[in-house]
Structure 1
Amino acid sequence: MDVYQKSQASHPYTEQDIGTTRLLPTYRMDLRPTHSKDVFYQANPISNWKDVSWDKIGRPYRVERWSKEKLRWEKEHDQQLPPQTSWEMFNRSFQNLFDADALATRQEAFGTLGKSLGTLKMHEALEAVEDIVQATVWNKIHRVEDAVWDPRGKRALFEGLDVKKPEVLFLGAADGYEAMQLMAMYPGGHAVLVDYDDYCRTNRFGEFPEAYPFLGEDPATGAPRVWYRDEMNIDFEVVDIRDLKYGKEFDVVVSIGLIEHFPDEYKPLALDMHRRFLKPGGYAIMTTPRAQLQSKIFYTLFADIMNFAYRELMDVKHLGLYAYENGFEILRHGRIKAHNGIIARAR
């Protein structure tokens, strides 16, 4: 394969495709502008966070239906599953959903169900039904609704930052999706992804689809442009975020679905990790899963795949109040498809 053919294969979309969306076997390509008739970022403004209190809003919802693999490990080892081991189990389990062709998985499960019912293997049949339900729901959430990556919602949340060629630090980076979206929107910068599971470096980020297009900006013209991961300046560090050696040198510190894994006694530490590495005037971007019925159903249905460690579902007021109480000024807050999101600065 010559260079041109390789480029065509890994960069299949161009500026001519802006405004379009397409369903692919394992994800949705979406280059539609953020400001369309179905904008997903909807702010619910709170003008004064001093007026928000835990007595008024209550506490986040705790997810407490655990993965069978977690329970089995704890029974075998007679101890609680360590946080890093739980994260490693989760990453491998969750990535399997991204890698699978949901429709093909569902079709295969239907075949298994038919054979199992024909031979009266009821346990096998029940497992096939569970696979059918999970594949159907995952297909709807990730491919049809695009609620996991949610490019338009994330772009709407990230827009308007006063940065040029930013230095970005992504804590608990997993597949690094949001850093790549930021690099497309604010081109010419540099991102450091941090995760203490090397599988995230080699597989979740390392095997992220080369052909996935990110809608961003052309720095030369200010016009919309399509970007790809191999055009971005990104490094990946495998380290516990508590052991990072950086100073206050980042324009943006971002975490996606991280804060909700810390019980209240550890949330000040988690939030300090965002403040510690920010330049004066830098932006902290944080999201957490929403406390909505769909999320509660998802984490129940996918318990064996998702629930290996402490997890909360929050309203945006919960996330904002945690940040406010721990020294942040909330600049923007709102809800996207599956997450709450805030943009904040250290006070």
Structure 2
Amino acid sequence: MNVNAGTTAHAGGGSAVGLDQTELTPQYRADLRSHASREYQKFVCLNPVNDWSLLTWEEVGKPYEVKTVAQDRKAWEQEHGSAMDAHTAWTYFNRSFHEWFMKDVPAEIDRSKQNFFQGLKAFRMEEIREGLGEVVRLHLWNYVHRIQDGIWDPRGKRALFEGLDAAKPKILFLGAAEGYEAMQLAAMYPGAEVVLVDYDEYCRSTRFAEFPESYPFLGENPRTGGPQVYYKPDFNIEYVVSDIRRLPFGKEFDLVLSVGLLEHFPDEMKPEVVDWHRRFLKPGGYAILTTPRNQLRSRLFYRIMADVMNHTYRELMTVRQMGLYIYENGFDICRHGYIKVHNGVVAKVR
């Protein structure tokens, strides 16, 4: 079902959001407004670096390492007497993160407030501490994800992804989770074939499977060149559960995408991670990478939301740090910049 103009209902029915409009649902914000609006431009900074060959690590510094660790990771490591392995860490993270994406946030805020005041009334200190922490986390999640729409940020992602020479592209998404950004790309470049890859089966069976089919992606009508709204069922998607290092593909993709992948590996592994994007690209194809920004708000978010987010090694970067990793490992930067909470780089093999 494609919609050329007009409206689309949100999950659970109710009112609808039309082109150039936004609507807040209990789980997320649906946003079909233009990223080119003057109001939104304050969130977008594109191409601040003129010459990547002139940058040095002494000038840009190294990324900020997030060292606050989730409690369930600490408990697992205490039980097993060893550091949590990467695969287990990702399974813990994916389940935790998806639970938050599925929350009816206003209802959960009301429930958490009631629990906090009940604990306060009975003067049960443990319940008071836990309740207060839950209230803070819910309000922060509500602001970052629903109000500001900083995690999905469709307008910012469209600003980063637009203008590519990619007709009916074949898209590979490495570490795809629910596959959001590949679906946004498929809306912008109609006729795309999408292959999502993650080595956690939960991402295919739950995170992707339960992504709301009523969520609207603003893209292009291939016949008219005008705006068109797409939904998850419109896209040609294959989901592969595999370690990236064992994928059977050759250099057959026009776009190779990763979102929040590079920052989970220390410096000695970053050349290999960058090479994963090169390995599957057709000549002339684009590698597209995003990472979380190193800013005070992001540091605060990962500290308060540690039990939800911090199961794996994680860094926060500036766009200059991110781009320099990519440039030094054999890519030329075509476009780069930052949006609300992410850096983005579009690159081609040098």
Q: What TM-score do you get using the length of structure 2 for normalisation?
A: 0.95
Aligned equivalents of 1:17 and 1:89: distance in 2? 37
Q: Within 5 A, what are the aligned runs for 1:25-104?
A: 25-37=26-38, 38-39=40-41, 40-104=43-107
1:45 aligned partner, one-letter code: P
Show the 5 A alignment for 1:1-347: 17-37=18-38, 38-39=40-41, 40-347=43-350
| Deviation per residue, 1:232-267 (Å, 9 max, x gap) | 000100000010010000000000000000100100
What amino acid sits opposite 1:27 in the alignment? Answer: Y
Letter paired with 2:181: E
- Secondary structure of the 1:146 match is coil
How far apart in 1 are the matches of 2:153 and 2:13?
Answer: 20
Counterparts of 2:171 and 2:44, CA distance in 1: 22
Which SS does the other structure have where 1:343 is aligned?
strand
Measure how far apart 1:104 and its partner are. 1.1
Counterpart Cα distance in 2 of 1:293 and 1:104: 29
**Tell me, what secondary structure is at the counterpart of 1:64?**
coil
**Distance of aligned partners of 1:206 and 1:269 in 2 relative to their CA distance in 1, 3 Å threshold:** same
**Counterpart contact for 2:17–2:23, Cα < 8 Å:** no
1:8 deviates by: 7.0
1:16–1:23 distance in 2 versus 1, CA, 3 Å: closer
SS of the equivalent of 2:30 reads: strand
Q: Which sections of structure 2, spanning at least 5 residues, go unmatched?
A: 1-7
Q: Cα distance, 1:45 vs. partner?
A: 2.3
Indicate if the aligned counterparts of 1:253 and 1:277 stay in contact, CA closer than 8 A. Answer: yes
CA distance change for structure 1 residues 195 and 77 in 2, over 3 Å: closer, same or farther? same
Are the structure 2 counterparts of residues 9 and 67 from structure 1 closer, same or farther at C-alpha, using a change threshold of 3 Å?
A: closer
Cα distance in structure 1, aligned partners of 2:304 and 2:189: 37
Aligned residues: 341
Amino acid at match of 1:28: R
Counterpart CA distance in 2 for 1:182 and 1:340 is 17
* SS at structure 2 position matched to 1:148: coil
Tell me the TM-score normalized by structure 1: 0.95
Distance in 2, matches of 1:181 and 1:271, equals: 22
Shift of 1:9: 7.8
Deviations 1:302-345 (A, max 9, x none): 11111011100000001100001100000111001110000000
Query: Using the alignment, how far apart are the partners of 1:250 and 1:12 within structure 2?
Result: 37
Q: Distance in 2 between matches of 1:225 and 1:34?
A: 15
Structure 1: runs of 5+ lacking an equivalent: 1-6
Query: Secondary structure in 1 aligned to 2:320?
Result: helix
Secondary structure at the counterpart of residue 341 of structure 1: strand
Quickly say closer, same or farther: Cα 1:11–1:129, change in 2 above 3 A.
closer
Deviations 1:187-215 (A, max 9, x none): 11100000000110011111000100000
Distance across 2 between alignment mates of 1:338 and 1:182: 19
2:337 is paired with a residue whose SS is strand
- How has the CA–CA distance of structure 1 residues 304 and 9 changed in structure 2, closer, same or farther, with 3 Å as cutoff? closer
Match of 2:4 in 1: none
- Counterpart residue type for residue 23 of structure 1: L
Question: 1:11: Cα distance to partner?
Answer: 11
User: Comparing 299-308 with 45-54, which one deviates more in the overlay?
Assistant: 45-54
Query: What is the Cα deviation at residue 12 of structure 1?
Result: 7.6
1:137 offset after TM fit, Å? 0.7
Percent of matched pairs sharing the same residue: 52
1:34 aligned partner, one-letter code:
H
User: What is the identity, as a one-letter code, of the residue corresponding to 1:115?
Assistant: Q
List, as ranges, runs of 4+ consecutive aligned residues in structure 1 with deviation greater than 4 Å.
7-13
Q: C-alpha separation between the residues in 2 aligned to 1:29 and 1:48?
A: 37
Shift of 1:71: 1.0
Looking at structure 2, the residues matched to 242 and 149 of structure 1 have their Cα atoms a distance apart, in angstroms, of 27
